[in-house]
Amino acid sequence: MCGIIGVFNNKLQKVVSNSEILKAADTMTHRGPDDRTSFISKDQRFGVGYRRLSIIDVDGGRQPLLSSDGSLCVNVNGEIYNHLELRQELESRGHIYQTNSDSEAVLHGYEEWGLDLLGKLKGMYAFSIYDSNQGVGGKGRLILARDKLGIKPLYYSITSEGITYASEIKAILKFSDISREPDMIAVSQYLTMSATPAPRTMFAGINKLPPGHMAIADLNGEIEIREYWSVLDNRIDLSEASEEEIVEQISESLTSSIRRRLMTDVPFGVFLSGGVDSSLNLALMSQMVNKPIDTFSVAIENDDASNENKHARYVANQFGANHNEVSVTNEQFTGFLTDMAYYQDEPLADPVCVPLYYLSALAKSNGCTVVHVGEGADELFAGYGNYALMNDFNRSLYAPFKGLPYSVKNLVLQTAALILPESKVEYINRATSNQELFWGGAVVFSENSKQHVMNEYIDQHVYSNVIEPYYKEYYSKFDKSSFLDRAINIDLKHRLPELLLMRVDKMSMAASIEARVPFLDEELVELANSIPSSLKYKNGITKYILRKMARKYLPETVVYRKKNGFCGGTTNMIGDSVTRYAEKTLKESKWITDIMNQYEIKKIFEMHKRGKISKGSEIWSLLNLALWHKVWIEGESI
- Summarize pLDDT for 100-147 with one digit per residue, the tens: 999 999 999 999 999 999 999 999 999 999 998 875 556 689 999 999
pLDDT at 137: 54
Contact call for residues 143 and 133 (beta carbons, < 8 A) = no
47-64 average pLDDT score? 85
pLDDT at 5: 97
pLDDT at 581: 97
Edge-to-edge strands, sheet with 514-516? 322-328, 294-300, 268-271, 370-372, 514-516
Contacts 24+ apart (CB under 8 A), 335-338: 337/581, 337/623, 337/627, 338/627, 338/630, 338/631, 338/636, 338/637
Q: How far apart are alpha carbons 367 and 409 in whole angstroms? A: 60
SS3 state at 35: strand
383-395 average pLDDT score? 94
Going by their DSSP bridges, the two strands 370-372 and 514-516 should be labelled as parallel
For 297, 361, 384, 582, the CA distances from 306, given in Å and listed in that order, are 11, 18, 17, 20
pLDDT at 423: 81
Q: How far apart are alpha carbons 151 and 153 in whole angstroms? A: 7
CB atoms inside a 10 Å sphere around CB 223: 17
For 226, 377, 550, 560, the CA distances from 313, given in Å and listed in that order, are 46, 21, 18, 17
For 251, 330, 494, 496, the CA distances from 469, given in Å and listed in that order, are 34, 41, 12, 17
Q: How far apart are alpha carbons 495 and 568 in whole angstroms? A: 18
Q: How far apart are alpha carbons 612 and 575 in whole angstroms? A: 13
| Rama region for 456: left / alpha / beta (φ>0; ψ in -120 to 50; rest) | beta
pLDDT one-digit tens code per residue, 560-607: 998 887 877 888 899 999 999 999 999 999 999 999 999 999 999 999
Going by their DSSP bridges, the two strands 207-208 and 294-300 should be labelled as unpaired
281-310 average pLDDT score? 92
Give kind and range of the element (H or E) at residue 254.
helix 243-260
Tell which residue, 630, 501, 503, 632, has the closest CA to residue 170.
Answer: 632
Contact call for residues 31 and 512 (beta carbons, < 8 A) = yes
pLDDT one-digit tens code per residue, 326-374: 999 999 999 999 999 999 999 999 999 999 999 999 999 999 999 999 9
Tell which residue, 617, 528, 549, 29, has the closest CA to residue 280.
Answer: 549
Confidence at 460, pLDDT banded by 50, 70, 90? low
pLDDT at 268: 94
Q: Please determine, for residue 61, whether its predicted confidence score (pLDDT) is greater than 80.
A: no
pLDDT at 10: 78
70-78 average pLDDT score? 94
Could you tell me where the beta strands, DSSP code E, fall in 369-524? 370-372, 514-516
Confidence at 13, pLDDT banded by 50, 70, 90? low
Q: For the packed helices 598-610 and 616-628, what is the interaxial angle rounded to 10 degrees?
A: 130
pLDDT at 178: 85
Contact call for residues 562 and 293 (beta carbons, < 8 A) = no
Give kind and range of the element (H or E) at residue 51.
strand 46-52
pLDDT one-digit tens code per residue, 19-32: 999 999 999 999 99
Confidence at 454, pLDDT banded by 50, 70, 90? very high
Q: For the packed helices 353-365 and 501-510, what is the interaxial angle rounded to 10 degrees?
A: 40
Q: Cα-flanking dihedrals φ and ψ of residue 180, to 5°?
A: -115, 85
| Rama region for 386: left / alpha / beta (φ>0; ψ in -120 to 50; rest) | alpha
419-428 average pLDDT score? 88
Share of the chain above pLDDT 70, in %: 98
